[in-house]
Amino acid sequence: MTKIQTQYNRRSFLKISAAAGGGMLIGFSWLTGCVSEGKNNEALAIPNEWFDINGYIKIGDTGLVTIYSPNPEIGQNVRTSMPMIVAEELDVNWENVMVEQAPLNTGFYNNQIAGGSQSIRKGWNPLRMAGATARRMLLEATAKELGVEVTALTVANGIIKEISGERTMGYGDIASKAVGIEVPEVVELKDIKDFKLISTSVKNVDGKNIVTGKPLFGLDFQREGMQLAMIQHPPAFGMKVKDFNEAEIKAMSGVSNAFIVDITVPEPGYFDEKGFLQLVAIVGKSTWQLMKAKKALKVNWEQVSELEDSEMHMKRMEASLASEMRESRKDGDPAAAFKKAAKVIERTYSAPFLPHNTMEPMNFFAHVTETSAELVGPTQTPQALEGSVSKLLGLPIEDVTVNMTRMGGGFGRRLYVHFGVEAAAISKKIGAPVKLIYTREDDMTQGTYRPAYLATYKAGLDENNNLIAFSVKGTGLPESPVFENRFPAGTVENYLAEKASTKTNITTGAWRAPRSHFTAGAEQSFLDEVAELAEKDPIEFRLELFDRAISNPIGNRNDYDAQRYAGVLKLVKEKSNWGQEMPGIHRGVAAYYCHNSYVAEVIDIAMEKNTPKIKKVWCAVDCGIVVNRDAAKNMVQGGVIDGVGHAMYSQLTFKDGATQESNFNQYRLIRHSQAPEAIEVFFVENDIDPTGLGEPGLPPAIGALANALYQATGERHYHQPFMSFKSVKG
Amino acid sequence: MPDYKLRINGTSYKVNVADDTPLLWVLRDELHLLGTKFGCGIGQCGACTVHFEGAAVRSCLIAVSAIGKSEITTIEGLSEDGDHPVQKAWLEHDVSQCGYCQSGQIMNAAALLAENPKPTDNDIDNAMNGNICRCGTYVRIKQAIKTASNQ
Ligand code: FES
Ligand code: FES
């Protein structure tokens, strides 16, 4: 067993217990409806009394256990996998566990954010500790009760037993006594080989609620006396609202108020990204009436900055790429190596702006009074929202509460907090509780988009087809996509990475696997071409490079583990029977490391009626210990479909500062018939602490797709989207 | 505003709304049947799918005045306790990620199977193409439909 120092004290437990018991979360009935149900027929009776053991665990007198899931749930399934980790160390039957969303409590919980695929990685130790600490306290309470030493007791599945004796104690029987026990300073964690729950497949705790249509999402939130609100933003980036036909709108049926709100917060931070700080707000009783009122709006806008378009965007990026760039890494002498290379290849790749398009449009509930603000809704970063609302209203942070609902998708969109801040501003103005709802058009035309990128890769081979020089330079609107210390850095003696960025007034932000979704596609399709030029098999070519990085790495800033990287490539090679001819099947491969996990993918394409059809995708994943096996597979499958879909079909284009696509009739997302027919996921089995999977499955899919398309059609794809690429790059 | 009598999930409801109000907003705002979701409002995403006399329709496109005496079924009325074969298959395959699109997917799949109990892959693609899932659960949805079709 591993012993670890507990990192919290009795006082913080009490604080959170008071919060949890005091109704911060369960005080209003709507959220209680969102508690996941006991999961089998033998589920224990609902307790008469609950005992807060610590801020993660509440045990009822019948033995039923509630585990609080600390992080926002956006579909990455942490509401199941995080409590699983607690339940493992607590040693309780999963059937007797219920899950509740924890409230925002930055003093107690660690990292309450859904971003960067970090929930599991950063939660691993605190969650294990929470379970182990509670188990230890229950053991100590039992020892005291039975008059024996703790060492004379053993525990399994929520039942404590005397090792040499007959007496037993259920968690439900002793929970009340464990509450008073001193929190141990050091606790023992289970040996990984003793895990019973972790690495099995546990079904989504909200599965039943989802398939029966229970109100789980922010948009479903209801409160007595609540009004609805919608906003109208300027039609183009670079414009500002001046005034509108207020009297006419106010006179419309179902409209109770209409006004301009300003959501400027002092010292805005990263999560405050928003293009339009003044908005027309319309308040009323029904969504449909508000939609009609929006259509009747006559607003005067004024231009405040340049109105941009897609052609201008590409020109700016091209100029930036041609200009002096910032060198971010240099190994050896790339210029000399390229000069003496026998073969040199250079290719340029681009990707367009993308909206997130979570299926649930942005929305938030707010109830602001003179002295408090209560917010409920879908946010990936409740802490940032709390901070921004506190700044907007000039309220102390303690007087702002944020509760998280389940989210109909996040993908980075809900890291930005403006829609919560807007709801608060509207509620303050009308002095009543309100739920702000975006239409799809609102959502798509004022996003925090995935930036647009442009990058050039160059490689030099010697006369024996060894890679002797490699360079990458990349720019974007408004950031460079280049990760200078990622593969193939470290495997090539002469290496150069250069960065630049260009300006835009389009608002951008994190989008599932930021930058990696672009670099993986570009770099991995480039390496496919380099391997071809070197007359080598694309997997063998990469494995040779990893061999170099293992035996003789160049530089000491390489941010990947070459063994694990090579490991996923070897696994995908084995599982997909790489190298075996299959009639009519054209294959492409890619591997990528990001967000602390390694994923290699092989995509099999067949041409059907002259159209490429993805028959199968093979994925090999190293994310350390797999917490919830089938759910982890689901995540990787989703990442593959999302990656393939956006690379093939999606782009957001601009004209006169406005997006040319505003709903799903113009903007293409992948649909059923275009999805791969099958996706198999295999894991590298090891005992390394787990890392996340919300993002890492997506980036390699783009490279593997481009490479498979080349095999199928003889055509290389350099510019996304591959299938409807039109005017953006001439 | 006129009164409308509606038959939804076997129950009669009376609502007082503008005649062009889409069924979606009657369900969500007036009746608090919140399982039917809003995704696009223009018939392009399928999140709002309900059954209209057994056929899958987009409730965001159907004005309340066009419903008449027709029987409407929403996800809340698909089964007593989530035990419709499609719902059971969804749980068996643990299809959901964020889950937001799934009530629409399920309603569409249930209508498909009612009409075509043994759909081919092609039939499934054709019937389901109007239902977007941004999380990318398409492969599992297809598997679940096949499982349900074998019940
Ligand atoms: S909301 Fe009706 S189809 Fe999208
Ligand atoms: S499960 Fe999230 S949109 Fe389908």
For tokens 């989008």, what's the residue?
A511
Is the confidence at residue A578, as pLDDT, over 90? Answer: yes
Helix, strand, coil proportions of chain A in percent (round to 5)? 35, 25, 40
Q: Between these two residues, A1 and A646, which has the higher pLDDT value?
A: A646
Q: Which helix (H) or strand (E) holds A282?
A: strand A278-284
Give the pLDDT confidence score for residue A368 in this predicted structure.
Answer: 98
Average pLDDT score over residue span A222-238: 97
Q: Please count the residue pairs, one from chain A and one from chain B, whose beta carbons lie less than 8 angstroms apart.
A: 191
Residue A639 lies in a domain: yes
B98 CA to centre of ligand 2 in angstroms: 5
Which of B77, B107, B123 is the last residue in one of the domains? B77
Residues A473 and A539 in one domain: yes
Confidence of residue A728 (pLDDT cuts 50, 70, 90): very low
Give the pLDDT confidence score for residue A472 in this predicted structure.
Answer: 98
Q: Do A641 and B138 touch (CB under 8 A)?
A: yes
Q: Do A358 and B76 touch (CB under 8 A)?
A: no
- The minimum CA-CA distance between A632 and chain B, rounded to whole Å, is 11
Give the pLDDT confidence score for residue A107 in this predicted structure.
Answer: 79
Q: Taking a C-beta distance cutoff of 8 angstroms, is the pair A297, A232 a contact?
A: yes
Confidence of residue A3 (pLDDT cuts 50, 70, 90): low
Distance of CA A45 to the CA centre of its chain: 36
Residue A175 pairs with which residues in a beta bridge? none
Q: Do A672 and B141 touch (CB under 8 A)?
A: yes
Does the Cβ of B135 fall within 6 Å of ligand 2?
yes
What phi, psi does A204 have (nearest 5°)? -50, 125
Q: Do B129 and A634 touch (CB under 8 A)?
A: no
Does the Cβ of B133 fall within 6 Å of ligand 2?
yes
- Averaged pLDDT of chain B: 97
Give the pLDDT confidence score for residue A8 in this predicted structure.
Answer: 52
Domain interval for residue A557: 324-353+449-713
Domain count, chain A: 3
Residues A68 and A128 in one domain: yes
* Nearest residue on chain A to B90, alpha-carbon basis: A211
Which of B32, B58, B77 is the last residue in one of the domains? B77
**Measured CA distances, A493 to A122, A488, A692, B43 (Å):** 35, 10, 32, 56
The tokens for B93 are: 């395959």
The tokens for A114 are: 């859904």
Residues A343 and A475 in one domain: yes
Which ligand has an atom closest to residue B38 CA?
A: 1
From A76, A210, A219, A359, the mutation candidate for ligand 2 (largest count of ligand atoms within 8 A of CB) is A359
A377: chain B residues, CB-CB within 8 Å = none
Does the Cβ of A669 fall within 6 Å of ligand 2?
no
Of B1, B28, B91, the CB nearest to A211: B91
> What's the CA angle centered on B55, arms B50 and B57, to 5 degrees?
45
Domain count, chain B: 2
A410 CA to centre of ligand 2 in angstroms: 10
Q: Between these two residues, A19 and A441, which has the higher pLDDT value?
A: A441
Residues A104 and A120 in one domain: yes
Residues B53 and B95 in one domain: no
Q: Do B102 and A288 touch (CB under 8 A)?
A: no
Least-confidence region, from A175-189, A328-342, A515-529: A175-189
Domain with B101 in it: what CATH number? 1.10.150.120
B102 CA to centre of ligand 2 in angstroms: 6
Residue A592 lies in a domain: yes
CA distance A113 to B32: 30
Give the pLDDT confidence score for residue A55 in this predicted structure.
Answer: 86
CA distance A692 to A301: 44
B73 CA to centre of ligand 1 in angstroms: 16
**Measured CA distances, A216 to A404, B29, B36, B40 (Å):** 10, 16, 12, 19
- Does this model's pTM top 0.90? yes
A404 CA to centre of ligand 1 in angstroms: 25
Confidence of residue A27 (pLDDT cuts 50, 70, 90): very low
Q: Do A204 and B39 touch (CB under 8 A)?
A: no
User: Which residue has the least CA distance to atom 3 on ligand 1?
Assistant: B43
Give the pLDDT confidence score for residue A729 in this predicted structure.
Answer: 36
- The minimum CA-CA distance between B69 and chain A, rounded to whole Å, is 22
Give the pLDDT confidence score for residue A277 in this predicted structure.
Answer: 97
* Nearest residue on chain A to B98, alpha-carbon basis: A75
A210: chain B residues, CB-CB within 8 Å = 96, 99, 102-103
Query: Could you tell me what percent of chain A has a pLDDT over 70?
Result: 93
Which of B59, B77, B95 is the last residue in one of the domains? B77
Which of A417, A437, A457 is the last residue in one of the domains? A437
Q: Do B138 and A672 touch (CB under 8 A)?
A: yes
Confidence of residue A46 (pLDDT cuts 50, 70, 90): confident
Is the confidence at residue A68, as pLDDT, over 90? Answer: yes
Quote the radius of gyration of chain B (alpha carbons, Å): 15
Give the pLDDT confidence score for residue A2 in this predicted structure.
Answer: 66
Give the pLDDT confidence score for residue A437 in this predicted structure.
Answer: 98
pLDDT tens-digit map of A610-656: 999 999 999 999 999 999 999 999 999 999 999 999 999 999 999 99
Domain with B71 in it: what CATH number? 3.10.20.30
A497 CA to centre of ligand 2 in angstroms: 38
Of A207, A410, A673, the CB nearest to B96: A207
Does the Cβ of B27 fall within 6 Å of ligand 2?
no
Domain interval for residue B28: 3-77
- Averaged pLDDT of chain A: 93
Average pLDDT score over residue span A282-308: 98
B81: chain A residues, CB-CB within 8 Å = 212
Residue A582 lies in a domain: yes
Residue A689, Cβ neighbours under 10 Å: how many? 15
pLDDT tens-digit map of A165-201: 999 999 999 999 999 888 888 899 999 999 999 999 9
* Nearest residue on chain B to A73, alpha-carbon basis: B98
Task: Report ipTM for this prediction.
Answer: 0.99
Give the pLDDT confidence score for residue A7 in this predicted structure.
Answer: 55
Q: Do A360 and B124 touch (CB under 8 A)?
A: no
Is the confidence at residue A42, as pLDDT, over 70? Answer: no
Average pLDDT score over residue span A257-275: 96
Give the pLDDT confidence score for residue A6 in this predicted structure.
Answer: 59
Give the pLDDT confidence score for residue A22 in this predicted structure.
Answer: 30
Q: Taking a C-beta distance cutoff of 8 angstroms, is the pair A557, A567 a contact?
A: no
Residues B67 and B26 in one domain: yes
CA distance A587 to A575: 14
Is the confidence at residue A4, as pLDDT, over 80? Answer: no
Residue A687 lies in a domain: yes
Does the Cβ of B94 fall within 6 Å of ligand 2?
no
From B26, B40, B102, the mutation candidate for ligand 1 (largest count of ligand atoms within 8 A of CB) is B40
Is the confidence at residue A11, as pLDDT, over 50? Answer: no
Residues B117 and B72 in one domain: no
The tokens for A512 are: 């599932």
pLDDT tens-digit map of A201-212: 999 999 999 999
Average pLDDT score over residue span B93-120: 98
Is the confidence at residue A36, as pLDDT, over 70? Answer: no
Average pLDDT score over residue span A589-597: 98
Residues A585 and A614 in one domain: yes
Residues B63 and B13 in one domain: yes
Q: Do B97 and A75 touch (CB under 8 A)?
A: yes
Contacts of A222 (CB under 8 A, 6+ apart): A30, A215, B32, B34
Residues A328 and A430 in one domain: no
A638: chain B residues, CB-CB within 8 Å = 97, 135-137
Contacts of B2 (CB under 8 A, 6+ apart): B16, B17, B19, B65
Q: Between the CA atoms of A79, A83, A85 and A86, what dihedral angle is there, to the nearest 10 degrees?
A: 160
Residues A163 and A199 in one domain: yes
Residue A503, Cβ neighbours under 10 Å: how many? 11
Is the confidence at residue A494, as pLDDT, over 60? Answer: yes
Which of A383, A416, A437 is the last residue in one of the domains? A437
A101 CA to centre of ligand 2 in angstroms: 20
Residues B65 and B112 in one domain: no
Give the pLDDT confidence score for residue B63 in this predicted structure.
Answer: 98
pLDDT tens-digit map of B50-106: 999 999 999 999 999 999 999 999 999 999 999 999 999 999 999 999 999 999 999
Residues A575 and A648 in one domain: yes
Give the pLDDT confidence score for residue A681 in this predicted structure.
Answer: 98
Of B29, B30, B96, the CB nearest to A204: B96
Domain with A267 in it: what CATH number? 3.30.365.10
CA distance A590 to A613: 18
